Amino acid sequence: MTTLLPTYADVEAAARRLEGVAHRTPVMRSRTLDRLTRATLFFKCEHFQRAGSFKFRGAYNALATLPEAKRRRGVLTYSSGNHAQALALAGRLLGVRVTVVMPQNAPEVKRAATAGYGAEIVLYDPEQITREELGRRLAAERGLTIIPPYDHPQIVAGQGTAARELLEEVKSLDVLLVPCGGGGLLSGSALSARALAPRCRVIGVEPERADDATRSFRTGRLHRVHNPDTIADGARTPSLGEVTFPLVRQYVDDMVTVSETAILQAMYVLWERLKLVVEPTGALPLAALLENRVAVKGRQVGLILSGGNVDLRRAATLFAELNQPPELPPSV
């Protein structure tokens, strides 16, 4: 069966469902980083979203559009954390039972928050079985509907509302930088940009160590990774999906990758200079600018900070290992 790809009309419908439920997150500025990059930067702060990331938008939209009979039986997902939390919260709000398949090495802060929202957590060893395989087996045994983290039309439509809000507020962007794991946020953002700012270049950013989407984008053939060793745990997804891959290929202008050092430096800058507690995956767009992976001089640039569900003790350890914090111009 062929899956229908979402359009901007689906993003608009998702925005109506999310009105009054999801937060309209703020857009922040930094004169210091404007001076450093010689551009005008607009940070869309999705770490202030409910459940701590943009994922709430898609999760709520997917559950809200689910037929009542399926809602009564419950849903299942597999996630390292942010989608798990988001779906658990959406399930609590809509009265839907949620089961989450989660890797044993998922950040403790995300695991605890997921349980706190009332979801049942099923842990697994990524070296022994894939989350998709275990999820399909459990869903079949229990009669649950699978709501995947990114490869779902209503998930993509919901995620696209973040960029929609940014473009409604800023009006004109030349470049939009978006973190990329499985491509749900990137796909939805590209749908919004094409409708609201057709000249805006949409660029996905992922870690060098998890560059499957970049390789897929460049070759036109789906590439995969297996448990990549990156601090950006939200980008450890194995590949783009049946929904996100064609959308990325059609609507995204470019993909770039960044080093682990740049991710950590960007996270450090966001915490210290902007006072924004952003997780490593959310720091990917700024990392691309710190490593000069995108030409932005003289341009208006949007950066989606995708989430802030970070383990503070782990972050302290990472910052302690940062040998060379980035040099910034004086604050103004």
pLDDT in tens, 207-254: 999 999 999 999 999 999 988 999 998 898 889 999 999 999 999 999
Q: What is the pLDDT of residue 12?
A: 98
- Our measurement of the distance from residue 76's CA atom to the centroid of its chain's CA atoms, rounded to an integer in Å, reads 19
Q: Does residue 39 or residue 324 have the better pLDDT?
A: 39
Active site (catalytic) residues? 55, 306
Report whether 60 contacts 83 (CB < 8 A).
no
Mean local confidence (pLDDT), 3-27? 96
Asked whether the predicted pLDDT for residue 1 surpasses 80, the reply is no
**Alpha-helix runs per DSSP H in the chain:** 8-18, 31-37, 55-64, 68-73, 82-94, 108-116, 131-142, 153-170, 184-196, 212-219, 244-251, 260-272, 284-290, 312-320
Q: What is the pLDDT of residues 152-168, one digit of tens each?
A: 999 999 999 999 999 99
Mean local confidence (pLDDT), 190-204? 97
pTM flag (> 0.85): yes
4-8, 289-293, 318-322: the lowest-pLDDT one: 318-322
Q: What is the pLDDT of residue 325?
A: 73
Query: In whole angstroms, what is the distance from residue 232 CA to residue 251 CA?
Result: 24
CA distances to 122, 167, 194, 298 from 197, in Å = 42, 7, 6, 18
Q: What is the pLDDT of residues 36-87, one digit of tens each?
A: 999 999 999 999 999 999 999 999 999 999 999 999 999 999 987 889 999 9
How large is the C-alpha radius of gyration of the chain? Answer: 18
- 42-71 burial: b if 16+ Cβ within 10 Å, else e: bbbbbbbbbbbbbbbbbbbbbbbebeeeeb
Asked whether the predicted pLDDT for residue 329 surpasses 80, the reply is no
Q: What is the pLDDT of residue 275?
A: 96
5-14, 242-251, 294-303, 310-319: the lowest-pLDDT one: 310-319
Instruction: Calculate what percentage of the chain has a pLDDT beyond 90.
Output: 83
Q: What is the pLDDT of residue 332?
A: 53
Query: In whole angstroms, what is the distance from residue 135 CA to residue 122 CA?
Result: 9
288 token code pair: 């691309």
Query: In whole angstroms, what is the distance from residue 283 CA to residue 205 CA?
Result: 10
Q: Which amino acid is at 250?
A: Q
CA distances to 5, 23, 31, 113, 318 from 63, in Å = 18, 17, 40, 19, 36
Q: DSSP of 122-180, one letter per residue?
A: EEE-TTT--HHHHHHHHHHHHTPEE--SS-SHHHHHHHHHHHHHHHHHH---SEEEEE-
- Our measurement of the distance from residue 194's CA atom to the centroid of its chain's CA atoms, rounded to an integer in Å, reads 19
- Which pLDDT band holds residue 206 (cuts at 50, 70, 90)? very high
Report whether 290 contacts 260 (CB < 8 A).
no
